[in-house]
Chain A
């Protein structure tokens, strides 16, 4: 850190007595410099620590940050909990509660105050050493983003190889294999044995999880442990196990302990299942359901083609109809015209006049008699009347 020195000569014309510290060449700090240096010291000296004390003077600001004091008989410390952490707790412990606080000492330079920057607060009643360790591990994993929802991977729809990390004796394997046989026998199940409780549980679990990535044709991993006392699940809260689980290259499902127990490994896994059987059900598709889906696709496939053919047939029918209609129309129009002409023709038919009593005289040559000179006396002619002809002779 480069420090700007205040040249003492500018003030009094003489150098003030050198401090008794090791760095005798140092001139005076500025206030900000000293506060900054103290802040660094405070944060670096102890790092993150657990502190036990009574919580008082709690105040939640609109910004979401919490301010309060932690005290015991001999001392008190101002504390701040930034919104990101306060949000996780939602409800602050009541005033006067004795708490464990996980935080880092720091200096707030603008006020020159020593502060504890708190990450979490737990009421001491009912909190054991295990829970403190749990909280600390959770904090470490959280800081590395291992609980980030964006890390969660989707499970494969039809896994070909399923690795199961669990105890090689016990009901878990039996449950998972039973579900696998019923739902999706096409998946190969590979059991990767580990001890799930006891002294070497952490070590064997880490080894087993690392082994999963060395297996070929595995695309999903279940890590499971049957129900048990809460203390039996400790290995699944261990940082090493959580990190090993986070490193597994295929999607992971956890099923650890009873449904009500949530271990850190459960938070790391891509999916958490309440029981080992449920994990297998989440992992594998149901053969009967897939068969129904396939059957419905088969129906729709046939139906799709059927409809396609029906449309074509209908289209041909429609065209034929239109053609027939067009032809009929045309014929009708022609027949109307014919009738009209026939009527007109009929009106002009000279024979119609005969019906009214007129007659027409024709010479033997068939010429109509219109003049007297055509029929000198004694000339034969034909008189045409309505119902025939009469042979006659002029006089």
Chain B
């Protein structure tokens, strides 16, 4: 299970490194910048997710798992 946030942050690191090196033409730099902005927005949205979801596992008589909301 690859985490989308980690993927976004990894890619952002790459983009920033590429932009900080000297061997890019301006068009390439602009394209990378645009991609970077998109990834930044996605990362910030994930950071803003507010409420933690807490569940509790129960098994019924047949051994089937059930999840219920849990208020700690």
| Docked complex Cα distance between A95 and B48 (Å) | 65
Q: B29, A297: Cβ atoms under 8 Å?
A: no
Which residues of the partner chain A approach B55 to less than 8 Å between Cβ atoms?
Answer: 188-191
Contacts A186-B49, A191-B70 given: A297-B3 contact, CB under 8 Å? no
Which residues of the partner chain A approach B52 to less than 8 Å between Cβ atoms?
Answer: 177, 180-181, 184-189
Write the nearest CB–CB distance from B20 to chain A, whole angstroms.
5
Contacts A190-B55, A190-B67, A297-B12 given: A158-B6 contact, CB under 8 Å? yes
Known: A180-B54, A305-B33, A307-B19. 9 other contacts (CB 8 A): A168-B56, A184-B52, A188-B54, A193-B57, A219-B1, A294-B12, A297-B36, A304-B20, A305-B30
**Cβ-closest chain B residue relative to A285:** B5
Contacts A187-B52, A189-B55 given: A160-B47 contact, CB under 8 Å? no
Write the nearest CB–CB distance from B21 to chain A, whole angstroms.
9
Contacts A219-B1, A301-B37 given: A308-B26 contact, CB under 8 Å? yes
B72 beta carbon closer than 8 Å to chain A: yes
Q: A160, B57: Cβ atoms under 8 Å?
A: no
Write the nearest CB–CB distance from A281 to chain B, whole angstroms.
14
Q: A294, B33: Cβ atoms under 8 Å?
A: no
A215 beta carbon closer than 8 Å to chain B: yes
Q: Give the contacts of A330-376 with B (CB-CB under 8 A).
A: none
**Cβ-closest chain A residue relative to B55:** A190
List 9 interface pairs A-B (beta carbons < 8 Å), by A numbering: A158-B6, A160-B1, A180-B54, A186-B5, A211-B65, A300-B19, A301-B15, A307-B20, A308-B29
Which residues of the partner chain B approach A309 to less than 8 Å between Cβ atoms?
Answer: 26
A391 beta carbon closer than 8 Å to chain B: no
**Cβ-closest chain B residue relative to A161:** B1
Q: Give the contacts of B29-72 with A (CB-CB under 8 A).
A: 29-30, 33, 36-37, 40, 43-44, 46-47, 49-57, 59, 65, 67, 70, 72
| Binary flags per residue of A192-217, CB closer than 8 Å to B gives 1, else 0 | 11000000000000000001001101
Which residues of the partner chain B approach A192 to less than 8 Å between Cβ atoms?
Answer: 57
Give the B interface residue count (CB, 8 A).
39
By a beta-carbon cutoff of 8 Å, the part of chain B in contact with chain A is 1, 3, 5-6, 9, 12-13, 15-16, 18-20, 22, 24, 26, 29-30, 33, 36-37, 40, 43-44, 46-47, 49-57, 59, 65, 67, 70, 72
A31 beta carbon closer than 8 Å to chain B: no
Which residues of the partner chain B approach A308 to less than 8 Å between Cβ atoms?
Answer: 19, 24, 26, 29
A393 beta carbon closer than 8 Å to chain B: no
What 4 A-B pairs are tightest by C-beta distance, nearest first?
Answer: A304-B19, A185-B52, A177-B72, A158-B3
Q: B72, A173: Cβ atoms under 8 Å?
A: yes
Q: A301, B57: Cβ atoms under 8 Å?
A: no
| Docked complex Cα distance between A186 and B4 (Å) | 12
A311 beta carbon closer than 8 Å to chain B: yes
Q: A190, B1: Cβ atoms under 8 Å?
A: no
A153 beta carbon closer than 8 Å to chain B: no
| Docked complex Cα distance between A173 and B33 (Å) | 43
**Cβ-closest chain A residue relative to B35:** A301
Q: Give the contacts of A128-186 with B (CB-CB under 8 A).
A: 156-160, 168, 173-174, 177-178, 180-181, 184-186
Write the nearest CB–CB distance from B66 to chain A, whole angstroms.
11
| Docked complex Cα distance between A167 and B47 (Å) | 30
| Docked complex Cα distance between A215 and B46 (Å) | 23
Which residues of the partner chain B approach A177 to less than 8 Å between Cβ atoms?
Answer: 52, 54, 72
Write the nearest CB–CB distance from B14 to chain A, whole angstroms.
11
Write the nearest CB–CB distance from B59 to chain A, whole angstroms.
7
Which residues of the partner chain B approach A168 to less than 8 Å between Cβ atoms?
Answer: 56
| Binary flags per residue of A282-297, CB closer than 8 Å to B gives 1, else 0 | 0000010011011001
A124 beta carbon closer than 8 Å to chain B: no
Which residues of the partner chain B approach A190 to less than 8 Å between Cβ atoms?
Answer: 54-57, 67
| Docked complex Cα distance between A219 and B15 (Å) | 28
A18 beta carbon closer than 8 Å to chain B: no
| Docked complex Cα distance between A177 and B65 (Å) | 21
